[in-house]
Structure 1
Amino acid sequence: MTIVQSPQSWIKHTFFIGIIAALTACGGSGGGGGKEPPMAPPDTTPNAFTIPAEQDVEPGEEVISEAVTINGINRPTPISIVGGEYSINGATYTSAEGTINNNQSVTVKLVAPEATNETGEATLTIGGVSATFSIATIIDNTPPSVTITFPPAVSLTEGTTILVRGTASDELNAVESVEVNGLAATSDDGYATWAAEVTLEPGVENVLNVTARDSVGSEGDNLASVTVRHSVDLNIAFPDDQVQFSAPQTVAVDAERNQALVVDVEQRAIYAVDLATGIRSILSENKEGDEFPLLLERTDFNYAGIAVDSENGVAYVGSSTESALTSGPTVLSVNLETGARDAGSQHATSRVSHLAFSADADRIYFGSFQNGAFLALDPIAKEYEFVSWSSNNIPVDGENPLTSVGAIAVDNMRNRALVTTATGEQLVMAIDLSEENPGVRTPFSTASIPNTDNLFTASGNHVLTSITVDAANDRALMVDRGLDAIFSLALGGEEEGARTILSDADTPNALNTLLDPTSVYVEEGMTYGLVVDKERKALMAIDLVNGQRVVLSKSAVSPP
């Protein structure tokens, strides 16, 4: 059947369809047009989050975590922390409760424990979801560092016990204990310094090993060790009977090569003594045809002065005879590698005192024990100048005359030399080395200056034969051959020049006594001093704290 629509009918149907579509777009034919869609329900439970842990943290350090972005919430959400502080988007750190919004970042701050091998944590809670920020301090498996300051690496003693002294330190924790061969050491400063009196097995070499432990249990065995031989007979050779001394006189230290240099006036030789082993060798000796022999031939007393410029590999030795006409150069230079000798000065004198080298001034100081002249030698130009000479009015004022020069040491801190008299009244004079007052003499330590306590020998010839500066203890050490003693002289303070006895037949005891000390030397950085005992034919080591003595190297001598 054919249906025919009129134009009017088509228009009416089209209008009707449009009305239906409009009503549908408005949500139906009912009222309420223009209402907002309903909001999502509140969500204050964030997605799970983690805070990466931190390892190897320094004790006591403030640690800030990596930033964590919080999401999965649609409302301001409560935030709290236990054990630390938090910051939202870089704001000030706080431990108070607060709120955080979606897509904001948070960091946690925590202070590490004060000790190593410890952990710490802070728990951050947001909307009931928690994460823990954990940190761990450095793990300390390293035992304390230990040194033995006395005795030296090898030594000989007649004592049945020996007081071992040393130091201990730990970078991360406190030192809890130090033991020497199982014997607990004592200390009153947390083992920064310690001491232990150890019984020696008689007649043999005793190896003394140090064990130390820190407060977290890190412990080490054999952290330091020395070897001490016991012998009731000190006339034996030590450590062996090779290359023996005949008449050792003076000593200095070549720090670069870890050796002591000893001048032997009978052998006309310079011995090298290995400070690690005590073994002796000849560095330089006279040979036929030498251009510059060691002329240590005075019959009264040879100071046989030796001074070392270790950094430049050279030693300087005083060389003289009975007459200046035959003495050759006053000072010889000695190559510390080869022992080769050369002229250190262009002039000659027959009565050369001890020598002292100042690296600060690059000068060698020496004097005459005949007329009291005190000179400075330029080792490059090989020329010297008079610094002080009483009889020639140098300096002009002429005060505090000095009639002879024996031993010399340089006090670099105060830019002065300390000089002992060689003959007559025994005293110590200070000579100014500054450019402002060169050569000015000031009595430093005498029978009445600074007081009358602990007097050294009052007069004589060649009694105060050696003096050295112990800069670490701000003092000088001096030999007194009349008392067979080592004196300590204060370098500064109200009691400058005050005397105490560091070591003698009674101080600290009668073990390994000095029979004829002729030279004493302290090298900067060493923890003990060196003393030449001419009668024992020995190089001794002396404890700079209490004066105890041991033998470092010696030749055999006949029993008395």
Structure 2
Amino acid sequence: MTGKFVCLLLGLALLAGCGGGGSNPPPSGPPVGSGAPDPDPGPAPDPAPEPEPEPGPVEPAAASASITFPWAISSTSTDTVTVRGTAASSAGVARVRIGDVIANTGFAPLNAGNSAGLARLGGTVAGTGIAPLSTDSPTSVDFTATVPLTEGLTRLPVTVEDDDGNTSDELDAVVVTLEGVPDRFTLDAVGGRLIGPSFQASVAANTPTLVSYNFITDETTLRPSPAPALDGGSCFIPSQEWFVYATTTAAGEVAIEVLVLDSPEGFRAAVLDFDSGPEWGVPNFEGLACAPTSTVVHVLQRYVPASGTGASLSVILTVDLDAGTVTELARSDPSESPGLDARDLIRVDDALILGPGFNQTGPLWRVDVATGERTSLTPGRSVPQALLAPDLANDRVFLVRVDEVTVIDLAGTEGPETLSAVVRTHPLYFDQPRDVALDAARNRLLVADDGLEAIVAIDLDTGERSQLLARTLGEGPRLIDPRQMVFGAEILRFYVADWGGNAAERLVEVDVATGERRVVATFEQDLVGLALDEAARVAYVAYRDRVFAVDLETDAVTTVAQSAIGTGAPIGVLSDLLFDSAGNRLLMADVQQEAILALETVTGVRSVLSQAGERGEGPEFENINSLSFGPDANTLFVTNQLGENVMRVNLGSGDREIVPLDCADIGPMRPELDEGLQQVIYHADRERLLLLGNSLVEVHPETGACALLPQSFIDHPMRLLITPTGQVFAAARRAVTLLDLDSGEFVIVSK
């Protein structure tokens, strides 16, 4: 975007006939009044030359800037974002601003007008620790800034100021949406709110962001939680505006803490040091339940026998948040059948409702909060483990499972009846339902699904599903589980191999600018490789011994390689693909034959590029599962999943050598010890390898020195992609994301 320049006018001072000045010659004629005749004047003198015109305005030096992180249109769930990019000006880059925030460029100019740049202390600019290189700013800089965000859309423009004082506005800009969806929630039916934690929005592991969504005004607010929280261990008390959560102390005990909504206040109410006796082991925290107007909460803990065998013990504790006391309300009898082996509890009026434990069937139980008396709501009937939404006023309980939502009539004798069931390809088919609440006033169930990152509303009369709140970006069919991804730099498209689970696998096209998605082709097989011939507009995907070509202009799919199709080297089981544009061929990792094969895309002829005992010297591959070009088209890096190593392959000779990984100092999450080692990819700008396994590690390709990169993403990436400009994208669960390697931050670009 062209900046608005401030023009400086330069003038030249012309001195003429000022008299007495040393720059004027003395008169040559006789003195005035001397009586002497005037000399012959001779020919008339030439006219005085016209003065030089004053120069017009001088155009200021052109400036430019480009933001590399975040993406042009992206989404995040954290209230700040790191903005990175480059800026340049031939007149020197004195200052870069992102909105109202001054970016760090690693340089503090002495003539930029800022106080930090006017004094040197110990060879550094005062207050910055930065040593100025000179009084002139550099003509190009890398900049970074941490910029606060507000809920909704925030536009972040770049402004560059040069050494001449010229300001160039709007050189580049990105738009970031701050949004979040709670993984679990409490329904404040009176206030029209959902309040709960979002671990998807978290930066620190197990430390959720507190999300409050008002579905009447359609407004969302986010607030960082002060401490790590246990999964399922939170609830909200609307009358007090208290968010109550369970956390683990430094001593390993479970504590119940309170955070006052919209306030920095909070307190620790109690520590659950309840001892159930020597025959029981350390308790497992299972659930926390609140009532809308009470400061008394209830906790469910489950103990397994100290011997490690036998039935478990469930104990319900009453915690008075005001008094800080913990007392036992009820416990199960491990010898009874059917017993109480619950994994969650729900407060309804004067009772707690509990269901069967994980992967079990059993009765539904009601426990009186005053006496602890337990009775079965479904005598003689068993229900499967599910999320429960009791509607005791109408003698029914709703059960939410991945595949369906059912309802059981407490006054009847039959099993649950189906209320809502959809096919696997339905956009609101549940992925990971975590919580449910009955919104009786609006005749609906509300279900939180952290796989969908959505709150789904289900009509109690029709079973129809609708989206109440979701974190999405871009139109089109949802991504389910993207496993492979390639990028077309010229056509500005991502192509994603999206694993469909119980549905067909899809090749999905994603528009880089908008995040919009469309399905290009579907496959009944689980795809294991994806490569792009951008010049020919053809994508290649692989399944076992087959390679399919997808024409991106017509969406037509053809089989171009199989043991019975084409000639040359046989194909075993393929694990990855890589297109070699210089050789106009497809490189294929064959995990069954432990080989790298080449497919000539024009002739269909296959050949062996590297295989122990066949071509090239060096150790054999061991479950080869990813390919990446190195600094040149003749060097290939591969990962060996079972060998737990990275190899360098010379494509000219087929020679193989192991890259020495010196990762001992980066902690226990070492990729070379991880059989989940998924990918190696070469980052040309950083001149490093990125290893994606149990962690994300940067490796020097020559020395093997490792650096553990920071990570804030909850859903671990399945695949990385590096663009020609050095940006790192990841295929993560249900989304395409852009990663910032140095901060660990990520933003969603399509979901």
Q: Does the TM-score normalized on the shorter chain lie above 0.5?
A: yes
Q: 1:222–1:165: structure 2 CA closer, same or farther, 3 Å change rule?
A: same
TM-superposed deviation, 1:135: 7.9
Match of 1:500 in 2: 707
Gapped regions of structure 2 (runs ≥ 5): 1-6, 17-22, 27-47, 108-137, 182-199, 201-452, 454-469, 565-570
Q: Deviations over 1:499-521 (max 9, x none)?
A: 222342xxxxx4xx142321001
| Structure 2 match to 1:208 | 156
Letter in 1 for 2:722: V
Looking at structure 1, the residues matched to 168 and 656 of structure 2 have their Cα atoms a distance apart, in angstroms, of 54
Identity of aligned residues (%): 23
- In 1: Cα distance, 2:717 partner to 2:491 partner: 25
SS of structure 2 residue aligned to 1:283:
strand
Q: 1: CA distance between counterparts of 2:15 and 2:657?
A: 73
C-alpha distance after superposition, 1:167-210 (max 9, x if no partner): 11124x122322122222221144611122111002x1211122
The whole-number CA distance in structure 2 between the counterparts of 1:358 and 1:487 is 26
Question: What's the Cα RMSD here?
Answer: 3.0
Shift of 1:475: 1.9
- Partners of 2:663 and 2:61 in 1: CA distance: 51
Q: Which amino acid aligns with 1:258?
A: L
1:246 aligns with 2:498: no
Which of 174, 184, 188 aligns to 2:102? It is: 184
Q: What is the rounded CA distance, in whole Å, between the counterparts of 2:561 and 2:624 in structure 1?
A: 19
State the secondary structure of the residue aligned to 2:561: coil
Q: Which residue number in structure 2 is paired with residue 522 of structure 1?
A: 722
Classify 1:116/1:365 alpha carbon distance in 2 versus 1 (closer, same or farther; 3 Å).
farther
Q: 1:258-304 deviations in whole A, cap 9, x for unaligned?
A: 1111101224211111111122211222xxxxxxxx3533xxxx5x2
Could you say if the C-alpha distance between residues 118 and 312 of structure 1 is closer, same or farther in structure 2, counting changes exceeding 3 Å? Answer: farther
SS in structure 1 at match of 2:624: coil
1:373–1:404 contact (8 Å) kept in structure 2? no
Whole-Å separation in 2 of the counterparts to 1:487 and 1:135: 62
Equivalent position to 1:351, from 573, 581, 585:
573
The CA distance in 1 between the partners of 2:525 and 2:148, in whole Å, is: 43
Tell me, which stretches of 5 or more residues in structure 1 are unaligned? Answer: 1-114, 286-293, 325-329, 505-509, 555-560
Q: Work out whether residues 425 and 460 of structure 1, in 8 Å CA contact, stay in contact via their aligned partners in 2.
A: no
Q: Residue 563 of structure 2: SS of its match in structure 1?
A: coil
- Structure 1 residue 223 displacement after superposition: 2.2
CA contact (8 A) 1:140 1:216 kept: no
Of 598, 608, 611, 1:389 maps to 611
1:105-184 matches, within 5 Å, as 118=10, 136=55, 139-141=58-60, 144-171=63-90, 173-184=91-102
Matched, 1:230 2:178: yes
| Structure with the higher fraction of residues in helix conformation | 1
Give the structure 1 partner of residue 658 of structure 2.
443
Match of 2:623 among 374, 398, 404: 404
Aligned letter for 1:281?
Answer: R
Q: Aligned in 2, Cα 1:177/1:127: closer, same or farther, shift over 3 Å?
A: same
Note the C-alpha offset of 1:243: 0.4
Alignment-derived partner of residue 337 in structure 1:
553
Report the CA distance shift for 1:503/1:318 in structure 2 as closer, same or farther (over 3 A). farther
CA distance in 1, matches of 2:709, 2:153: 27
Asked if the contact 1:119/1:136 (under 8 Å) is kept, the reply is yes
CA distance in 2, matches of 1:152, 1:278: 10
Q: Is 1:413 equivalent to 2:632 in the alignment? A: yes
With normalisation by structure 2, the TM-score equals 0.48
C-alpha distance in 2 between matches for 1:456 and 1:333? 37
Query: C-alpha distance in 1, partners of 2:582/2:141?
Result: 31
Determine helix, strand or coil for the equivalent of 1:178: strand
1:546–1:415 Cα change, 3 Å = farther
Match in the other structure for 1:277: 514
* Higher RCO (CA-CA < 8 Å; seq separation 6+): 1
SS in 2 for 1:419: strand
Deviations 1:17-48 (A, max 9, x none): xxxxxxxxxxxxxxxxxxxxxxxxxxxxxxxx
Residue 185 of structure 2 corresponds to none
- 1:409 counterpart letter in structure 2: S
Q: CA contact under 8 A between 2:475 and 2:517: conserved in structure 1?
A: no
Q: Distance in 1 between matches of 2:620 and 2:697?
A: 24
Distance 1:350 1:552, change over 3 A: farther
> Which whole-Å deviations, capped at 9, do the CAs of 1:87-114 have from their partners, x for residues lacking one?
xxxxxxxxxxxxxxxxxxxxxxxxxxxx
Amino acid at match of 1:197: T
Looking at structure 2, the residues matched to 498 and 210 of structure 1 have their Cα atoms a distance apart, in angstroms, of 36
Is this contact kept in 2: 1:252–1:261, CA < 8 A?
yes
Q: CA deviation at 1:151?
A: 0.3
| 2:685 partner SS | helix
Look up the equivalent residue of 2:640 and give its one-letter code.
T
CA distance in 2, matches of 1:415, 1:371: 22
Task: Measure how far apart 1:122 and its partner are.
Answer: 9.7
